[in-house]
């Protein structure tokens, strides 16, 4: 009985704190609309007077309700951003709201940039949380093609507790693409991880990535030979073996596939690939996500033109 009474008093105190703090905020402007007024974060922090966490929870619930409402989150990225900006200004040590912003603030390029600013705030207050760095790296890579920025965001997360084993391999690929296809920088990064990390499972991932880099080196030799073949014959190859066939072959012999398999033409891209690896050394985006990305850029362009 006493416990229930105590909880009831606590609940009333929380409600009173929210009401009192909100009463200190300025009235909502006439144009605030149905989505509700979100106060300026700096002013809200001053008005909270010790109830920052309580007020932050209130606006956090408003953000969650907005996403889960019948109208849904589409087209409301910037409203979500204002709410999460307020939440994380009042209580910057919260966790999930930063990733919530990254997931739902994807209407256009400006919204993703706003989400990145929030993720950077999360990193500043939670430097050992790998997930904030992961979402920031993903946004740079996927939405903007900023591979160098993506690699820089992800690299500190490689050794963090809970980070997936593949993260080092991903950073190496991003570094390679950011450097104009510089395989040596990626290989050096992986060798250093291999030297430092005692985890045998992670070491296996790094060794696998180094194998892929070696396959890529040899595939690039074949790319150069393919260009020479086309220059000589006025057509592309139909099979990789054509590079070593005829009276005056482009190559005397194909470079050995590192795993003892063969070189083949990928049926989808037409590129020369190892039949063991099955792809080139680059970060790939599948067809479904490419379509999502096309729609994202179309929305961003439409918004810019209408601004």
pLDDT tens digits along 31-61: 444 456 788 888 888 877 888 888 899 999 9
pLDDT of residue 180: 80
Q: What's the CA gap between 133 and 54, in Å, rounded?
A: 27
Residue 28 lies in a domain: yes
User: Over 60: is that where the pLDDT of 2 sits?
Assistant: no
Of 133, 43, 40, 125, the C-alpha closest to 91 is 125
Cβ(135)–Cβ(102) below 8 Å = yes
pLDDT in tens, 109-165: 999 999 999 999 999 999 999 999 999 999 999 999 999 999 999 999 998 999 998
Residue 70 lies in a domain: yes
Residue 228 lies in a domain: no
Range 172-190 burial, b when 16+ CB lie within 10 A, else e: bbbbbbbeeeebeebbebb
Domain holding 28, by residue range, is 1-127
Residue 273, beta-bridge partner list: 264
**Considering only 16-20, 80-84, 151-155, 158-162, which range has the smallest mean pLDDT?**
16-20
**Straight-line distance from the first to the last Cα atom of the chain, in angstroms, rounded to the nearest whole number:** 60
Provide mean pLDDT across the span 269-278.
Answer: 95
Residue 172 lies in a domain: no
Number of domains forming the structure of the chain? 1
Residue 241 lies in a domain: no
210: its two tokens: 């180094």
Q: pTM (2 decimals)? A: 0.79
Q: Residue 307, Cβ neighbours under 10 Å: how many?
A: 6
C-alpha distances out from residue 110 to 37, 61, 94, Å: 21, 24, 24
Residue 63 lies in a domain: yes
Of 177, 169, 171, 176, the C-alpha closest to 154 is 171
pLDDT of residue 197: 87
Residue 272, beta-bridge partner list: 265
Provide mean pLDDT across the span 251-274.
Answer: 95
Residue 181 lies in a domain: no
In a 3-state reduction of DSSP, which class is residue 23?
helix
Kindly state the helix (H) or strand (E) to which residue 95 belongs, with its residue range: none
**Considering only 16-25, 91-100, 253-262, 272-281, which range has the smallest mean pLDDT?**
16-25
Provide mean pLDDT across the span 203-211.
Answer: 92
Burial class (CB in 10 A: 0-12, 13-18, 19+), 252: exposed
174: its two tokens: 């991003």
DSSP conformational letter for 180: T
DSSP conformational letter for 241: G
Residue 47 lies in a domain: yes
> Alpha helix (H) ranges present in the chain?
2-23, 41-48, 52-68, 77-90, 96-104, 109-125, 130-144, 147-154, 167-178, 183-196, 200-233, 287-306
């Amino acid at each position: 009985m006493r416990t229930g009474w105590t909880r009831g008093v606590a609940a009333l105190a929380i409600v009173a704190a929210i009401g009192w703090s909100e009463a200190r905020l300025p009235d909502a402007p006439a144009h605030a609309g149905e989505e509700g007024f979100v106060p300026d974060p700096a002013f809200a922090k001053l008005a909270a007077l010790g109830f920052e966490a309580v007020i932050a929870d209130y606006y956090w619930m408003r953000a969650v309700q907005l996403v889960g409402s019948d109208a849904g989150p589409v087209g409301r990225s910037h409203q979500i951003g204002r709410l999460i900006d307020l939440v994380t200004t009042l209580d910057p040590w919260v966790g999930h709201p930063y990733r919530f912003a990254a997931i739902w603030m994807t209407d256009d390029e400006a919204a993703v940039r706003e989400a990145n600013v929030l993720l950077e705030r999360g990193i500043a207050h939670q430097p050992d949380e790998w997930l904030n760095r992961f979402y920031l790296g993903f946004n740079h890579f996927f939405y903007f093609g900023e591979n160098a920025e993506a690699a820089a965001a992800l690299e500190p997360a490689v050794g963090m507790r809970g980070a997936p084993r593949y993260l080092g391999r991903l950073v190496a690929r991003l570094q390679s693409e950011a450097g104009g296809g510089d395989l040596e920088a990626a290989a050096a990064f992986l060798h250093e991880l291999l030297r430092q990390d005692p985890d045998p499972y992670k070491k296996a991932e790094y060794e696998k990535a180094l194998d892929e880099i070696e396959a890529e080196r040899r595939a690039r030799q074949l790319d150069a030979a393919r260009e020479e073949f086309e220059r000589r014959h006025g057509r592309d190859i139909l099979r990789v073996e054509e590079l070593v066939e005829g009276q005056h072959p482009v190559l005397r012999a194909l470079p050995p596939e590192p795993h003892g398999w063969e070189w083949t033409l990928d049926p989808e891209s037409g590129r020369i690939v190892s039949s063991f690896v099955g792809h080139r050394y680059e970060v790939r985006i599948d067809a479904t996500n490419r379509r999502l990305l096309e729609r994202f850029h179309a929305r961003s362009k439409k918004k810019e033109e209408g601004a």
